[in-house]
Chains A and B, each alone.
Chain A
C-alpha cells in the first residue's frame, strides 16, 4: 500500500497529463475542422501484415533510442537544476566530428566504433564544458549561453559540412561527409527479432539500442547509488546547503555539464552508425529540444525517460502515415507540446496534493518535493534523509 502511495502520484501525473493533452489537441483539431478520431486511427494503424507491423515497431524503437539519449542528457543536468538547452548544438557538432573522424581512419571493427563514440562524447562534453566554464567563472546563465552556443554549433557544422569535411562532389542535391567504412558500423539487431519469432522487417533495428540501455543503467546507478550522484542531487535541491556540507559547487557544475554533454554527444550516433553512415545536410535535427520534453515527461528518471521516449517515438512514427492520409502532420508536434505543458502542470498539482497530504500527516514525508516549502518538518527516516536534510539546511 505504501509503495502504491509513493508511486501513485509519479505515475498518475504523467498519465493524467497525456489524457489532458490528447483532449486539448482533439479540441484544437475539432475547432480547425480536422477529425481527431481519424487522426488517432491513423496513428495506431501499424499495417496489415506481420512484416509491416514489425517494421512499425522497429521504426518506433529506432526513433526512441536517440530520444532516450537526448532525454538522459537533459535530465542529468536537470537533476542539479541546470538547464542544458544546448543539447541540440552539442549533438550536431559531436555527430559531424564523429562522422569525420570515423571516415578518416580505418581500424578493426570494435575499435573503430569505440573511436567514433569517444570522439562524439568528447566533442559533446567539450561544447557543454564551455557553458559550464562561462557559468562558474563569469556567471553567465547557462540558459542563455547554451542557446547562443547552439547557433554557433549549427553554423560550425554547416561550415564543416560544406568545407573541410565535404565528401560529395559539387552540384549534388544532398551534401554529405565521407562515408564511414563498414568496420565503423554498428550491426543491426534483426537477428534478435528472428530469434524472438517475429517477422524480419526490411528496416534494420539499430544495434545502438544495447549501448543506449547500458548508458541508461549506468546513469541511473551513478545518480542514485554513488557519492557523485548524491552530491549532484543535493546541489540541485539546495546549492547553499550542499556547499555548506562540503560539496564543491563549481566543480559539480563543470562535472555535471561535462557528463550531460558527453551523453549528448551520443544522440546522433544511432542514426549515424546504424543507417546513414555519413553526416548529411538533412541529418535528423531537433532531437535536443525534444530531449527537453522527453526528460520532463519522464520526470528526469532513466526509466521514465525510456517510456517518454517510446511515447514520443510512437507519435513521430505517425508523421509519414498522416501525410499520406492528407492530414496536417504537425498535429504530432502540437500533441507533443501540449503533453509537455500538461505534464509540468500535472506534476506541480500532484506535488501540491502530496504536500497537503503530508501536512495532514497521513502520508510519508518523503513524498514531499524538495522545494523548501514551509510544511511541518518531520523527523526524516534515516535511509532517505537526503532531500529532507537539505531542506532543513535551507530553513536553518
Chain B
C-alpha cells in the first residue's frame, strides 16, 4: 500500500508540464528565474523601484508567513480529508490568544497562547465534523462566525476597563517582541546587498533586493515558520504517521480496514491545523505589537487559496503564500507599485494569448489578448489608484491566479467527505 500511494503521488507531481519540461527542481528554478527577470523588466519600464526593494521584500516575507501558516494548517486538515474553511476563525482566535498572553507575559507566551487558542478552534471543528459528521464547510463557516463573536466578547470583558490599556477592539500592547537576526556582512555591517540594491542595475539589484529583504533583521520565529514548510513535507511524506494521515484523506475506508485509527488521526490533523492557523494569527500580532479586531482581514481564506493554488503540497503552498504576501506588501506599502502590477499582468496575459493561439484555442487567446490590452492601457493612463481599489489587490491576485491555475489540480480524493465508520 505504501508504495502504491507514494508512486502515484510522485508520478502526478513530477509529470512534465506542457510548457517546461525537465525535473521538478529544474522547473522550479526556471520559474523563479523567469519571475525575477519579469519583475526586473517591469521595474525598469515602470520606474517603480519599490517593486523589488528589500523593504517591500521584507514586508512580503512578514505578510507571507501568516498566510503560509494558515495554508499549512489547511494542508494538515485537508490531507486528512477535512476541509477547513474555519481557518480564518482559528486565526482570529490565535490573534486574540496571542494578544491576551502577550501583554502579560511577553512574546513566548503570546506564541503559546495563539497556538492554544487556534487549537481550541480546531478541536471544535474536529468535534463537529469527525464526531458528529457535520458538513465541513458548514462547520467552518459557523466557527468563523463564532470566533469573531468570541474574540469581541472576551475583549469587552477583559480589556474594556483594563489598567494596562486596550479597549473593546484591541488588547494592551505586547510587552516584548521576538528577537531578530541578520546575515552578517551581506545584510548587516558592510551591508553589501543593500549597496548593490541601491545601484538599481537590471536584474542584479533586483536579486540583491530580494535576498536582502529575506535576510535582514528576520525574526527568529519567522525562520522557524519558514522551516516548518520542509518539516511538514518530511512529516507528511516521509514518515509512517504522515502516510497514515494522508490515507485518511484519500480512502478512509481502506485505511480503516488496515487498522489505521481514522477518527483519531483526523482529530490530530485538525488540531494541528488549528494550532498552525493560530500561529499565523500570532505573527500578525507580532507585526502590529498588539491585538486588534479584524487583524486577520481574510488572510485565513487567502491561506486556503494558497493551499489550493499549491496543489495541496507544502512547496506549492509556500509559493502561493509568497505571491499573496508580495501583493499584500505592495498594497500596504506602495500604491504606485500596484499600478506596475498591471504591466506585469499585461505581459503575462500577452504570453497566455500567444500560447493559446499556438494551440489554436482562438477564443481563449482573444480573451487573454483583450484583457492584456486593457491592463496595458490601465498601466499607461493610471498614475495612482485610489485606496479603496488598492485594498483588494491581494484578493484580486488570488482570484486571477486561481482562475488561471485550477484545472490541473488534484485534491485529496476523500477531501470534504464525511466519513462514518462502517457506512462505506
Residues in chain A within 8 A of chain B (CB atoms): 32, 34, 83, 85, 134, 138-141, 143-145, 147-152, 154-163, 289-290, 292-293, 296, 328-334, 336-338, 340-341, 344-345, 348-349, 352, 371, 373-374
* Complex contacts, B141 vs chain A, CB 8 Å: 83, 85, 289, 292, 340
User: Which secondary structure characterizes the binding site on chain B?
Assistant: helix
A139 close to B399 (CB less than 8 A): no
* Complex contacts, A147 vs chain B, CB 8 Å: 298, 301
* Complex contacts, B388 vs chain A, CB 8 Å: 155-163
28 residue pairs bridging A and B, Cβ less than 8 Å apart = A32-B153, A85-B141, A138-B402, A138-B407, A140-B406, A144-B402, A147-B298, A148-B302, A150-B298, A151-B392, A151-B395, A152-B396, A155-B389, A157-B388, A158-B387, A289-B144, A296-B142, A330-B152, A330-B153, A334-B150, A336-B149, A337-B145, A337-B148, A338-B146, A340-B145, A341-B139, A344-B134, A352-B133
A48 CB to nearest B CB, Å: 28
Identify which of A144, A160, A293 contacts B145 (C-beta below 8 A).
A293
Q: Complex Cα distance A152/B3, Å? A: 45
Q: Complex Cα distance A158/B390, Å? A: 11
A153 CB to nearest B CB, Å: 8
Q: Complex Cα distance A386/B389, Å? A: 47
- B366-404 interface code vs A (CB 8 A; 1 in, 0 out): 000000000000000000001111111001101100111
B275 within 8 A of A: no
B133 CB to nearest A CB, Å: 5
B137 within 8 A of A: yes
* Complex contacts, B403 vs chain A, CB 8 Å: 134, 138, 140, 145
Q: Which of A148, A159, A344 has the most CB of B within 10 A?
A: A148
Q: Complex Cα distance A140/B403, Å? A: 6
* Complex contacts, B154 vs chain A, CB 8 Å: 32
A144 close to B142 (CB less than 8 A): no
B305 within 8 A of A: yes
Given contacts A138-B406, A147-B298, A345-B134, contact A334 B389 (CB under 8 A): no
Q: Complex Cα distance A34/B157, Å? A: 9
Q: Which 4 A-B pairs have the closest CB atoms?
A: A333-B149, A159-B388, A337-B146, A328-B156
Q: Complex Cα distance A85/B144, Å? A: 12
Q: Complex Cα distance A134/B305, Å? A: 14
Residues in chain B within 8 A of chain A (CB atoms): 85, 124, 128, 132-135, 137-139, 141-150, 152-154, 156-157, 160, 298, 301-302, 304-305, 308, 386-392, 395-396, 398-399, 402-404, 406-407, 418, 423-424
A303 CB to nearest B CB, Å: 20
User: Which secondary structure characterizes the binding site on chain A?
Assistant: helix
Beyond A152-B396, A162-B388, 8 additional contacts (C-beta under 8 Å) are A85-B141, A140-B406, A156-B389, A162-B386, A289-B144, A290-B145, A336-B149, A337-B147
* Complex contacts, B396 vs chain A, CB 8 Å: 148, 152
Given contacts A329-B156, A330-B149, A334-B149, contact A144 B308 (CB under 8 A): yes
A139 close to B406 (CB less than 8 A): yes
B395 close to A152 (CB less than 8 A): yes
Q: Complex Cα distance A170/B152, Å? A: 32
Q: Complex Cα distance A160/B141, Å? A: 29
* Complex contacts, A83 vs chain B, CB 8 Å: 137, 141
A246 CB to nearest B CB, Å: 26
* Complex contacts, B404 vs chain A, CB 8 Å: 138
A134 CB to nearest B CB, Å: 5
With both beta carbons as reference points, the residue of chain A lying nearest to B83 in the complex is identified as: A143
B391 close to A158 (CB less than 8 A): yes
B134 close to A148 (CB less than 8 A): no
* Complex contacts, B156 vs chain A, CB 8 Å: 328-330
Given contacts A152-B399, A341-B143, contact A143 B153 (CB under 8 A): no
B150 close to A337 (CB less than 8 A): yes
A293 close to B142 (CB less than 8 A): yes
Q: Complex Cα distance A374/B422, Å? A: 10
Given contacts A144-B304, A155-B388, contact A333 B398 (CB under 8 A): no
With both beta carbons as reference points, the residue of chain B lying nearest to A160 in the complex is identified as: B388
* Complex contacts, B392 vs chain A, CB 8 Å: 151-152, 154-156
B142 close to A341 (CB less than 8 A): yes
Q: Complex Cα distance A373/B418, Å? A: 11
Given contacts A139-B406, A144-B308, A148-B305, contact A345 B153 (CB under 8 A): no
Q: Complex Cα distance A237/B72, Å? A: 32
Identify which of A145, A292, A333 contacts B148 (C-beta below 8 A).
A333
B298 CB to nearest A CB, Å: 6
* Complex contacts, A374 vs chain B, CB 8 Å: 423-424
* Complex contacts, A144 vs chain B, CB 8 Å: 301, 304-305, 308, 398, 402
* Complex contacts, A349 vs chain B, CB 8 Å: 132
* Complex contacts, B150 vs chain A, CB 8 Å: 334, 337
* Complex contacts, B391 vs chain A, CB 8 Å: 151, 155, 158
* Complex contacts, B402 vs chain A, CB 8 Å: 138, 140, 144-145, 148
